[in-house]
Structure 1
Amino acid sequence: MNCRIFYGKLLVVLALLVAETVQSDDDAAAIPTTPELVPTPRILSGSDALPGQFPYVVSVRVGGQHICGGTIISQKSVLTAAQCVYSLLPHFLMVQAGSVNRTAGGVVVNVTQVLSHPNFLDYNNDIAILKLETALQYNNLIQPIPVATNDVPDGVGVNIAGWGRSGEHNVQPEILKYSRSLRTISNDECAHDIGTVSPSILCLAKNSGNGICGGDAGGPAVYKGVLVGIASYHLSVCGASTPDGYTKISYYKDWIAENSCSGVKM
């Protein structure tokens, strides 16, 4: 499993703690980040999204910088990957909603509570809920998405979306990328490629040059307008032909219902 995601997040936390210690109160809002310390999300071989095409996708941010994707499930609840946020205090976090441009537009809302799955460890139970300070106002650019209550069929295509690079050393694009090139496979089939797979994992197969890469955690996998997965990990190098691992939403439907704010569609 690729460990760069974990170490990238650890460096972000250390940098933020140092910044908070040495800065004055007047400078506290200006948390320094660098490209080396901020994870670099990537949707490989993706196309540019149009405004309103994915109104449920948000940018999870630290110090104004995009670190992960997230998905709106109610006016005050966002689903993301636990690996993105489990070690961060809420006041470091915010989400940008309503814009396909990660550097402009939309609305930015502070996070007041981070609820990572209590059994999150090494990409197992890689799911978290962010509680927002202010309720999102729905419009044609900001909408929730229903969460899956049943397993998605094997062998069907899904949509994934996120902000990121088109290659290992390319510059991050400003516009949200999406791909329809991934398909679901059974865990038995997945195990032939990557070894034993937990029943909480949704495996998405793809051809070489597609899929997610380090830092693209938290973004959605969607089937027929329903959220079925959260981007969690890839094996080997970015864009390899091995399946990507997504947190399976249906496996956590009860946990989501118990811990999210009202208004979640299931």
Structure 2
Amino acid sequence: MKYVTFLLVSVIVSTATGVLDKSERVTNGVQASAGDFPYIASVTVGGQHICGGFIYNQEWIVTSASCVFDYLPSELRVTVAQLSLINDDPEEKVYAIFRVVFFDGYDYTSGLHDIALLQTASPIEFSTNVNFILYDEARESPADKGILAGWGATFEGGLASSRLRSIEVTFGSDCKAYGEDQYYPNYMLCAGGSAVDTGNPCPLDEGSPLVQESNGILYAVGIMSKNKGCGTAAEPTIYTRTMPYYPWFAKVAGDQPTPV
């Protein structure tokens, strides 16, 4: 059913829009293999991908508040160990959502505090292809880089990509073009949009984590929140920082597991 639904909608959209512009998509990056991003989750409604997210612990998923603001918990599902939105993958599993918790003060208009926690109805089973990721503050010098993986649209306003892919983004960008009422540097992170960036996150990448490696350990430093388009010449992307929400994470979702 997953394959038939995706294929039918893809044919309709492709026919209506013509040839896709391959420069305007997260798929300029690298196609993911099993186990590359065990922390990634797909947030779905009615079996259709709407956003990304990451595994915080065995009961909680972190995503963008803007992704799930209009939905009841019973309408949401999260899928883990998934590479393809068309075919079932080994260890792929879907979890119902029991509760959605938004950060107090979330502002839909500005995107301030664009973060939410989804509690699964049953514990997430960890395995080779399913695991949590720690979080930390970003390193933001022009020499620093991050990785974002997602199923973002292949063009502005389009459908989700059928395959999980990743892109590398640079830091040192300036998001002042968004305006003071849209970019709050204490809670938001600015990345991408430089001359060396070959792609940006697209619609349906919201909620996916921006990740950096430190001493061999991966950390989620941001959560994709918003941008002004996903072409190679687009403005930088704004991410919600993860570290400022440490007390909230601990209060709502408890501790993370100890890394093995």
TM-score between both structures, scaled by the size of structure 2 = 0.78
How many Å separate the matches in 2 of 1:91 and 1:119?
Answer: 23
1:222 and 2:206 are equivalent in the alignment: no
Q: Taking structure 1 as reference, are residues 185 and 241 closer, same or farther at Cα in structure 2, changes over 3 Å only?
A: same
CA RMSD of aligned residues (A): 2.4
How many Å separate the matches in 1 of 2:159 and 2:94?
Answer: 23
2:141 aligned residue: 154
- The number of equivalent residue pairs is 223
| Amino acid aligned to 1:211 | N
- Give SS of 1:83's match: helix
- How far residue 152 of structure 1 moved from its aligned partner, in angstroms, is 2.6
1:92 and 2:75 are equivalent in the alignment: yes
1:255 aligned residue: 248
- How far residue 70 of structure 1 moved from its aligned partner, in angstroms, is 0.6
2:115 aligned residue: 127
How many Å separate the matches in 1 of 2:49 and 2:160?
Answer: 10
Q: Taking structure 1 as reference, are residues 265 and 229 closer, same or farther at Cα in structure 2, changes over 3 Å only?
A: farther
TM-score between both structures, scaled by the size of structure 1 = 0.77
How many Å separate the matches in 2 of 1:87 and 1:168?
Answer: 22
1:114 aligned residue: 100
How many Å separate the matches in 2 of 1:168 and 1:247?
Answer: 21
| Amino acid aligned to 2:106 | F
Give the ranges of 4+ consecutive aligned residues of structure 1 lying more than 4 Å apart after TM superposition: none
How many Å separate the matches in 2 of 1:66 and 1:168?
Answer: 16
1:195 aligned residue: 179
- How far residue 56 of structure 1 moved from its aligned partner, in angstroms, is 0.3
- How far residue 115 of structure 1 moved from its aligned partner, in angstroms, is 0.5
Q: Taking structure 1 as reference, are residues 116 and 170 closer, same or farther at Cα in structure 2, changes over 3 Å only?
A: closer
- How far residue 50 of structure 1 moved from its aligned partner, in angstroms, is 0.6
1:211 aligned residue: 200
1:242 and 2:230 are equivalent in the alignment: no
Q: Taking structure 1 as reference, are residues 87 and 231 closer, same or farther at Cα in structure 2, changes over 3 Å only?
A: same
How many Å separate the matches in 2 of 1:140 and 1:176?
Answer: 17
- Runs of 5+ in structure 2 lacking a partner? 1-8, 13-24
Query: Identity across aligned pairs (percent)?
Result: 29
Q: Taking structure 1 as reference, are residues 261 and 102 closer, same or farther at Cα in structure 2, changes over 3 Å only?
A: farther
